Chain A
């Protein structure tokens, strides 16, 4: 079975370096989401401190450069304004949306071959093996 990248050719992975960047982004987004969710459960309306906010913004900036076109998580959002005092729950929600789109992008750039899942680079199977996709098209599997 092949997951076609024809749906979003402009945002397909072009090099193996981009695959590594995507994998790193997914892990970083999930890590931040896990940590900030703990804070958000305790004090949803508390402000995130500037150190954490800067980290979140730097990872969102990286996400914005990878998730383009159909995969852009939010049309009118790029990153958090420090002076707008985003709360824990604000940040958790945005991170969740980025995680969803990163996973959709990843899932749509994988190919099943020889009983394993491989990343697609320039539309062809690469030598980088990945975990099975969980979201093909817009549906979670």
Chain B
């Protein structure tokens, strides 16, 4: 059985939690749902990031120089080449493949250097401003432009991280690597990079400090809070994106004011974490909702229970366990929902689970039943296979009755599989620990495992 939502580090057995790494760990089959925001480089206190931002702007503004000197074709080629950066895998693509912009769109962007006098004269200070003038350009494209023009630095960063973590690298060809001396994209061959073990395509890491869900300077933010909507149209149906973009082209001052405001409030601009824990009040509210739920399936109680636990546990167990995904499987015609976590082996307990039970991922089966029955134990037992490891948890309402508890002990005796049960009482204690911060909520799992092992022969 394969890993769920595999990441590069899991594939190579490198057990480090995402929270401890400087880069966003790439998934093998899908994109990381974050975007590189050039404003984070601009606002960074680090000289290196600021210099990279300058270099990024130089690369972009050079396109304006090319247009002004009659080399439009070269500018279009460069811009199209920069419009996608598959190696970094940021965005929302499900298959790590994106599409480049077309020639018409590239010309529309380059036309800004002629159309808007400020850009013609002084170039861009924040190239993400192109969102305000050209339709179809948004956060994913800004992120791709950023990564493409800075790819050379990102390759060095990736190599450094690979050396630190001992991630294997292989020679790979990069079809478009920006040469900032010649100001054009060239093919680079035989560059040492980690490869996606499935597709054999090279991977490039991006520092976490550059990533946000939405760029700081964004069209939606501008439209909602700063755009003079009444000036553009008094009729809501005519207030279209295209109308706003056209207005912006003729009123650069509005954009300039917006960007200045965003620059002034730069201290509020922070990178977004890949995973954010829910607040304590929310955790307590979710637990009280769980307590008030009846067992069984009436009124969708089972679904609600699974949803609430699915929102609660990833936060309670962070950062010791990275949440992978919630998944549904069918066993003997019954739909079972599990929470799957990456085992980072970051604590002695998790290391022990990894070594003893071979758990690269930890599965938690949610059961909103009055009592766990024989078939439930059998279902989880069948599921605890080699790849997933032989350690699993029931997240349920009440402790196991004697017969089923004995069955779990027998499973340990016969097959060295450990099934630990986490009940409402344990969840209550985890929420309490989550609030008080006196111990880690995962210590409750350790306690329950200790109690389970104490009963084993």
Contact = CB atoms under 8 A, between A and B. Distances in A.
Contact of B438 (A49, A81, A84): A49
Interface in B407-457: 428-429, 432-433, 436, 438-439, 443-444, 446-447, 450
A87 B429 CA distance: 9
Contacts of B444: 85
A84 B438 CA distance: 14
Given A46-B436, A48-B438, A49-B439, A83 B450 contact: yes
A50 B446 contact: no
A46 B438 CA distance: 8
Contacts of A81: 450
Interface string A18-51: 0000000000000000000000000101111110
5 contacts: A46-B438, A47-B429, A47-B438, A83-B447, A87-B429
Interface string B114-157: 00000000000000000000000000000000000000000000
A43 B437 CA distance: 12
A84 B449 CA distance: 10
From B349, B436, B443, B450, name the one whose CB has the most chain A CB atoms within 10 angstroms: B436
A128 B436 CA distance: 44
Q: Is the interface of B mostly helix, strand, loop or mixed?
A: helix
Contacts of B428: 45
B433 A47 contact: yes
Nearest to A49: B438
User: Interface size for chain A: under 10, 10 to 19, 20 to 34, or 35 or more residues?
Assistant: 10 to 19
B432 A46 contact: yes
B430 to A, nearest CB: 10
A84 B432 CA distance: 16
Contacts of B446: 83, 85
B433 A46 contact: yes
Contacts of A83: 349, 443, 446-447, 450
A47 B444 CA distance: 9
Nearest to A53: B439
A49 B438 CA distance: 4
Given A85-B439, A85-B443, A85-B444, A45 B432 contact: yes
Interface string B298-323: 00000000000000000000000000
A50 B439 contact: yes
Contacts of A87: 429
Contacts of A50: 439
Interface in A52-106: 81, 83-85, 87
